Amino acid sequence: MLFFHSLKSKLSNQETVFGILNSVPSPVICEMFAYAGFDFAVLDTEHVLISDDTLAHCIRAANCSGLPLLVRVPDDNAATIGRVLDAGAAGIVVSRVSSLAMANNAIAAAKYPPLGTRGISGGRNTGFGTLALQDYIDLANREVVVCLMIECINGMAALPDIVKLAQVDMIIEGALDLSLSLGYGTQVTHADVQAQIHKMAHLCQAQNVTFCAIPRTPEQQASWHEKGTKAFLIGEDRGMIFKTFKHQLDTLKQTK
């Protein structure tokens, strides 16, 4: 059955939400996110190799534990987006959106007619037939979350038009790739990079589209909060797990 667990309503009501990037694809990790209290997680299939079975198990674990799981897809490929949503994901995060056409393609792939061109299929998304197809179509068109990542110069140029699209729920900043695109390497704190990120936030807020920041320090978190930002990705699980392992090991090694 299709599970959404109120993420769309939280975004619509401008509630503050916290998410995490899932780079260690595991059903157990997804359950841990839920019980830790995250409002959503983004499972990365752009940079992470993951089998169809593992993806299905992660989505199922998230569904059963009440976690809205968004799947980050590499591009606007309609077949990929459709299969992810058919498996029960709460929504999609489309990477490297660089044009209005790409944004429109992603929306069309995620929504059924008349809002889009997604093809209908029964299965676990309809509770194997316990939810009528038309009821499922109406529910999915209302509740599936469409998020777009802006990570390049072309994406920034198209953003004023992208944020006017009615079916865009959230724009996520991609400071590192944007910095590379601007020619500043990995200098995500460079003034020009930060200026583009703040421009992104302003364009979103002007159109009542949720802007999702990725704060790298408590100071950045506080600054975004003061500016009215309501959505945050607090980092990725892979880095957090490694730092925790290393800190615990180093601490015990120093114990006399």
Write down the residue that tokens 């830790």 correspond to.
36
- Whole-number CA gyration radius for the chain: 18
Whether cis (ω within 30° of 0) applies to the bond prior to 68 is no
Length of the chain counted residue by residue? 256
Contact between residue 231 and residue 211 where contact means Cβ atoms under 8 Å apart: yes
Catalytic residue among 5, 47, 57, 202: 47
Question: Cα separation of 25 and 16, whole Å?
Answer: 25
Question: Cα separation of 171 and 109, whole Å?
Answer: 17
How far CA 132 is from CA of 21, 63, 125, 135, 141, in Å, comes to 33, 20, 11, 5, 14
- Residue 76: which residues within 8 A CB-CB, separation 6 or more? 94, 97, 102, 103, 105, 106, 109
Give the tokens for residue 39.
Answer: 């409002």
E strands of the chain, at which residues?
17-22, 40-44, 69-73, 91-94, 145-150, 170-173, 210-213, 231-236
Annotated active-site residue 202? The verdict is no
Residues serving a catalytic function are 47
